[in-house]
Structure 1
Amino acid sequence: MNILLATSNTHKKEEFARILTEHTIVLPSELNLSFDFEENAETFTENALGKALSLSKVVPKGYAVLADDSGLCVDALGGNPGVRTARYGMEEFGHLLEAGPRNEYLLKNLKAFTRKEERKASFVCALALVVDTHRIYTIEESVEGYITEEADGRGGFGYDPVFFVEEAGSTMAALDNGKKDLYSHRGRATRLLNTLLGEI
């Protein structure tokens, strides 16, 4: 299947392509499409579905559209950053933060919580696939862990250096690609999608 990914994030394309090996994954820019979508829904699934449906209006014939909305939910912060994960800190600083400063802001806000039990968090990934008008599918998966007190690891992107996956005994950023695909929220959701694609 030819799949148009509703993002400009090349890291996400790489992660999807490693698992969806029998399918062709392309970004809007590779088809000379301009795509921008305001993620203002209250759930990850609603945001993913909104993106997929929006891009499906301009998708070339022969392409399905895949969108994801992923985020970090920290128990001690009332589930935040949540659906505002990419925009975390924007209200205080007045602009979007790069990953490094955003992680520092998160660690600062958790400074009062010193035990790992107090720093529990989950990464969530919602996927929405639009094959055509009447074939629309959604998947949501998560991985549990906690926020470390300092960044560790050079792989991955976003909050990966401060998210410790107890099942893997490592931060997400310290895992190699194979292990990240095994443990990560996006890896879990994409494997389910791969199974689904074999049925449709």
Structure 2
Amino acid sequence: MTRVLLATRNKKKLAELQRILDGALGANRIELVGLDDVPEYPELPETGLTFGENALIKAREGCRRTNLPTVADDSGLAVDALNGMPGVFSARWSGRHGDDRANLDLVLAQIGDVPDEHRGAAFVCAVALVLPGGKEHLVDGRQTGRLLRAPRGEGGFGYDPIFLGDGQIRTNAELSPQEKDAISHRGKALRALAKVIDKVLP
């Protein structure tokens, strides 16, 4: 079994990627570990101006510090009425990193006067894989939809409760993990990553 580092402390992301890799590659092919499972090292700030740049920053550092094949992602919400923001600042849009409810409430307040027909948005995800030999791979995924005026659903995380994907009648937070994996930006990116992993890792 090949050991791969996912450069995050987010247990939900670990479980999500392991679930998708197992589905794509078969169980017991990849042993996924997170930052809490390796010796601690200082994490670099996400200074990139794109999701891809930030994913590569994290993956390169994880690989350099652990000598493990390292996967890192950066993802967020791009709101049409906010000129693509919060974008790479999605996790800290309210000023506090990872405060999902504060971030969600701020976005809703900022587009409160925007008519329903102009509340388009997209979830965007970039995932990087950096190998100890120095090779790098970058894939991405996108889910388009629109933002509701109030949260619905208890599942998912981040902006899921206000995001209604194109053709959906339920928000991402009202979907089961498997249903969300099948259509989400991260699910699309991670399935693309699984194809890369299948080719480059034993």
| CA apart distance, 1:141 | 1.1
SS in 1 for 2:65: coil
Which residue, out of 85, 91, 111, partners 1:86? 91
Letter in 1 for 2:187: G
Is it true that 1:107 corresponds to 2:108 in the alignment?
A: yes
Q: How many residues align?
A: 193
Which residue, out of 36, 39, 43, partners 1:32? 39
Q: What corresponds to 1:72 in structure 2? A: 77
Supply the distance in 1 between the matched residues of 2:156 and 2:38 (Cα, whole angstroms): 26
| CA apart distance, 1:33 | 2.3
Supply the distance in 1 between the matched residues of 2:176 and 2:42 (Cα, whole angstroms): 31
| CA apart distance, 1:132 | 2.2
Maintained 8 Å contact 1:107/1:149: yes
Maintained 8 Å contact 1:28/1:35: no
State percent identity of aligned pairs. 36
Maintained 8 Å contact 2:160/2:173: yes
Unaligned 5+ runs, structure 1: none
Supply the distance in 1 between the matched residues of 2:167 and 2:179 (Cα, whole angstroms): 11
| CA apart distance, 1:109 | 0.6
What does the per-residue CA deviation read over 1:112-165, in whole Å, with 9 as the maximum and x for residues that have no partner? 1121x2110000110000122332100011110111100001001111111111
Supply the distance in 2 between the matched residues of 1:138 and 1:35 (Cα, whole angstroms): 23
| CA apart distance, 1:97 | 6.2
Unaligned 5+ runs, structure 2: 23-28
User: How large is the RMSD of aligned CA atoms in angstroms?
Assistant: 1.3
Letter in 2 for 1:67: A
Equivalent residues in 2 for 1:14-29, closer than 5 Å: 14-21=15-22, 22-29=29-36
Supply the distance in 2 between the matched residues of 1:12 and 1:142 (Cα, whole angstroms): 17
Equivalent residues in 2 for 1:34-183, closer than 5 Å: 34-60=41-67, 63-90=68-95, 95-96=96-97, 98-115=99-116, 117-183=117-183
Maintained 8 Å contact 1:74/1:121: yes
| CA apart distance, 1:106 | 0.9
Misfit runs of 4+, over 6 Å: none
SS in 2 for 1:145: strand
